[in-house]
Amino acid sequence: MIAVALKGLAGRKVRALLTAFAVVIGVSMVSGTFVLTDTMQRAFDGIFATAYSHSDAVVSGREVVADSATAPVPGSILEKVKALPEVAAAGGQVGGDDSEKAEIIGRDGKAIGRGGAPALALSYDAGAPQFNPLKLKSGAWPANATEVVIDKATADDEHYRIGDPVVVAVDGEQQRYKVAGTATYGDVESLGGATMAVFDLHTAQRVLHRDGVYDQISIAAKDGTTPAELVKAVKPLLSKDLQVRDSQSEADAQAKETSDGLSFIRYFLLGFGGIALFVGAFVIFNTLSITVAQRTREFATLRTLGASRRQIMRSVVLEGLVVGLVASLLGIGMGVGIAKGMNAMFKAMGADLPTAGTVIATHTITVSLLVGTLVTLAASVLPARRATRVPPIAAVREGATLPQSAVAKHSVKLAVGLTVAAIAAIAAGMFGGLSGLAVGLLVGLGLIALFVGIAFAAPHLVMPLARLIGWPTRRAGGVAAELAEANSARNPGRTASTAAALMVGLTLVTVVAVLGAGLRTSVEGSVTKQVHSPYVLGATEGVPYPAAEGDALADTPGVKAYSHVRSDNALIGKDKDMVSGVDPATIERFYRFDWTSGSSASVAKLGRDGALVTKSYADSKHVKVGSSLAITTPSGERGTYTVRGIYDVSELDALLGNVTISQQAFDAVYKQPKDLLTFIDAGPAAKNALADKAAAYDDVRFSTAATFGKDRTKNFAGLLKMLYVLLAFSVVVSLFGMVNTLVLSVFERTRELGMLRAIGMTRRQARRMIRQESVITALIGAAMGLPLGVFLAALATKALSKYDVGMAIPVPMLAAFTVVSILAGVAAAIMPARRASRLNVLDALHYE
């Protein structure tokens, strides 16, 4: 039977190839995800290993507020550390955080930015060069305040040579330097588009406002001193705001933080690989079901010759195993290309990450082979079971068909039961107030059950949908269109399975489109309600920008008034939250407070110790007017503030933090204040000058009152595009399913097609018939997928309504999806239609 199965595959190369491609795409998504994330992980591991390769211990500030800057290390600590008998050498380093960029300004006057990656500011200490993680590629290290070393990638891309002048903007202040050299971060050639500006230590301390302090101190132990002994010796020198860890622990801590972020990317992308494989399972099931039905007499003959049911089932399953194994191997190979494509997609979205060669790990091969093969085997089981029910008498009976399966007999009951259970599970996940993991499981399993339930119901929907969808073509397409409609409804189960594969992709794309439209409309409405400012300067990536940039625009001729909104993280009590700083004298000229407790007088009373809080924060923390709030900044500065007022605001896009204090109070505890927004009142004549000034900065976006709301959703629009691209893989898989079905249908109807040609059907009419049959199938998938997607999006919108998310139906987008479905149907019919039109009439009439 093994030989029979393999010969069967060899005799149906086209079908086997098309089935394999459905698996290849899903497996390539899985393998590509592992290749991409493993490659990034190696790059980050290389960066961290390089950073601490010549040190045994590191002194740094404790992280008071998660994911924020730490307290600086006083310069006096370095001298005390150097004096310890266990220390061989020690050196201090400084470097800017996410909001302290060292932007290299190009010759066009604009900041050089590649993929939204960070612009790093680093220091070089000539007195302790062994702690420098950078590798000089050309020139020399900076020797004074007029020199800078830039990364090799920027130098190559922008054609900077040693000795060329270059402008670097740190904290919004531009200064001209001479290029002293180029460097890379250890052996990592690409930092994912990041730029580097390396200054000598004293210059770095000056431009980064670190006079007399360091961000960290690297320490090398004397021979015979272990890292643990070194840490024990240094610890008594440190205050409670500082910490010392051995270098391996420091590297591991940073690597873990990065690994957690990469894990999210990995599982996120694997989810879309799973969707493509799920759709591929429909294709495999449908293809094998068709071939089993077409091989009824073949299986009956084998039964007559003595083959057992187990042997028949084994042969069909073996076909699935071979297809799955070969497809998985091809998918692993394609995964390398998919990984490069996904990296390019992230880069286009401004999330370019470092890479270091291509990593194909053992788990990539193992998981990809297992997933692809097991999915194919699982999809092969039901068709294999049907094959075992072929009676031997069917070998001699003309037109014998397979007996109806038990599942088919109860398909309506199964469809209703699964659909109801699925909707209940999805609703419980969305509205049950459960934890994140429980929500994910309920919604994920509910979606799978829902798709399967709709697939069971689909055969009963095919005929009415085919009549409805085929009506326009019947009026214009003549006999070919009528035959196409009849062919679509001839085998409802086959048409339904083919359409169901497309339905899955279209459903998920529709959910994304409808939710995206609702979120975009809600955000724009929320922003419009909060702000009434002719012009706004805002942070592009949500990372506050240097106050100097906002001041530069405020100094533009024609500006009548302006108001900055400071922003930073803090501990409020024991919880991390965002704190805003506003100017009480000007903020209400641009921002509307919807007071629930308080009035405009509350803003005027902010002073040095007052605060405003949002209603949602007040409700969750049981805060009222007169309550006290204890705030601790990332650097360890502390302050106590009294609540002067409470206002209501949409949680969807609140422009101010949950706690707002005066700009004066903010600047007192944040030594390097940053702005998140700058509101500007100016006439139309100042617009171009403001836009030109803003264009010089890579981390801000200049908006008018009319465009501010839309600009706030630009990053979100990029995410939607990425989701469409990832979901497109499942649509492509369903396309192969339609091709498969049509090819097999043409084979099955060879004699019928020959007879139609013999009585006068032209080649053009034959092509049109197959093409319209494909389009009808695709539109049946759209007719099921689009309404189902709108329904699921409505459920999700209802669950998000507490965040003021509204429902919006993007009619043009849904119309575009319908057009895509039609085009998919046309594309899927190209090869089968050509084959049908080229059949030799006499050979077709003799076909068995």
pLDDT in tens, 570-590: 999 888 999 999 999 999 999
Q: What does the alpha-carbon distance between residue 778 and residue 789 come to, in Å, rounded to a whole number?
A: 16
* pLDDT of 681 higher than 70: yes
What is the structure's pLDDT at 392? 67
pLDDT (average), residues 284-303 = 71
pLDDT single digits (tens) 220-232: 999 989 999 999 9
What is the structure's pLDDT at 297? 65
Q: Are 730 and 504 in contact (CB under 8 A)?
A: yes
Q: What does the alpha-carbon distance between residue 648 and residue 130 come to, in Å, rounded to a whole number?
A: 55
User: Does residue 712 sit in helix, strand or coil?
Assistant: helix
Q: Are 162 and 139 in contact (CB under 8 A)?
A: yes
Q: Is 399 exposed, middle or buried (0-12, 13-18, 19+ CB in 10 A)?
A: exposed
What is the structure's pLDDT at 352? 60
Nearest to 79 by CA among 264, 228, 212: 212
Q: Helices 247-294 and 492-530: crossing angle, nearest 10°? A: 140
Reported as a pLDDT band with limits 50, 70 and 90, residue 804 is confident
> Helices in 595-677 by DSSP H: which ranges?
600-604, 615-621, 663-669
User: Which residue shows structure tokens 């740094």?
Assistant: 60
What is the structure's pLDDT at 548? 84
Residue with more model confidence, 742 or 616 = 616
Cα-based distances in Å from 411 to 406, 452, 684, 697, 741: 9, 11, 66, 62, 22
pLDDT single digits (tens) 405-444: 656 666 778 888 889 999 999 888 888 877 777 888 888 8
Structure token pair of residue 461: 């929907």
What is the structure's pLDDT at 115? 46
pLDDT single digits (tens) 505-543: 899 999 999 998 998 888 888 888 899 999 999 988 778
At 445, which amino acid appears? L
Mean pLDDT across the chain, nearest whole number?
Answer: 83
Neighbours of 424 (CB within 10 A): 13
Can you spell out the DSSP letters for 301-352?
HHHHTT--HHHHHHHHHHHHHHHHHHHHHHHHHHHHHHHHHHHHHHHHTT--
pLDDT single digits (tens) 706-725: 899 888 887 777 778 888 88
What is the structure's pLDDT at 625? 93
pLDDT (average), residues 365-372 = 88
Residue % of the chain over a pLDDT of 70 = 88
Q: What does the alpha-carbon distance between residue 561 and residue 534 come to, in Å, rounded to a whole number?
A: 11
In the chain the first and final C-alpha atoms are separated, in Å, by: 23
* pLDDT of 215 higher than 80: yes
∠ at Cα 262 (261, 267), nearest 5°? 105
What is the structure's pLDDT at 192? 63
Nearest to 235 by CA among 222, 223, 227, 244: 244
pLDDT single digits (tens) 78-119: 999 999 999 999 999 998 776 677 888 887 777 776 445 678
Highest mean pLDDT: which range of 268-282, 446-460, 782-796: 782-796
At 820, which amino acid appears? V
pTM of the model: 0.79
Least confidently predicted of 156-160, 369-373, 726-730: 726-730
Q: What does the alpha-carbon distance between residue 568 and residue 602 come to, in Å, rounded to a whole number?
A: 22
Residue % of the chain over a pLDDT of 90 = 28
Q: What is the largest CA-CA distance in the chain?
A: 103
Please give the DSSP secondary-structure letter assigned to residue 57.
E
What is the structure's pLDDT at 200? 94
Q: Helices 436-490 and 411-431: crossing angle, nearest 10°? A: 150
Nearest to 784 by CA among 722, 726, 742, 734: 734
Reported as a pLDDT band with limits 50, 70 and 90, residue 695 is confident
What is the structure's pLDDT at 590? 95
Cα-based distances in Å from 186 to 51, 183, 215, 439: 8, 9, 20, 43
What is the structure's pLDDT at 762? 83
Q: What does the alpha-carbon distance between residue 516 and residue 721 come to, in Å, rounded to a whole number?
A: 10
For 545-673, list the strands marked E by DSSP.
Answer: 545-546, 559-572, 575-582, 594-597, 610-614, 628-632, 638-648, 659-662
Q: What does the alpha-carbon distance between residue 251 and residue 57 come to, in Å, rounded to a whole number?
A: 10
What is the structure's pLDDT at 142? 95
Instruction: Produce one character per residue of 579-596: b if its CB has 16 or more CB atoms within 10 Å, e if not.
Output: bbbbbbebbeebbebebe
* pLDDT of 770 higher than 80: yes
What is the structure's pLDDT at 16? 65
What is the structure's pLDDT at 557? 92
Q: Are 104 and 119 in contact (CB under 8 A)?
A: yes
Residue with more model confidence, 753 or 647 = 647
pLDDT (average), residues 49-77 = 82
- Residue 804's H or E segment, with its range, is none
Three-state SS for 31-48 is HHHHHHHHHHHHHHHHHH
Reported as a pLDDT band with limits 50, 70 and 90, residue 790 is very high
* pLDDT of 381 higher than 70: yes
What is the structure's pLDDT at 376? 82
Reported as a pLDDT band with limits 50, 70 and 90, residue 356 is low
pLDDT (average), residues 285-312 = 72
Q: What does the alpha-carbon distance between residue 778 and residue 469 come to, in Å, rounded to a whole number?
A: 10
pLDDT (average), residues 660-672 = 91
Q: Are 82 and 214 in contact (CB under 8 A)?
A: no
What is the structure's pLDDT at 615? 93
| CA dihedral (432, 456, 295, 829) positive or negative | negative
* pLDDT of 399 higher than 70: no
Please give the DSSP secondary-structure letter assigned to residue 85.
T
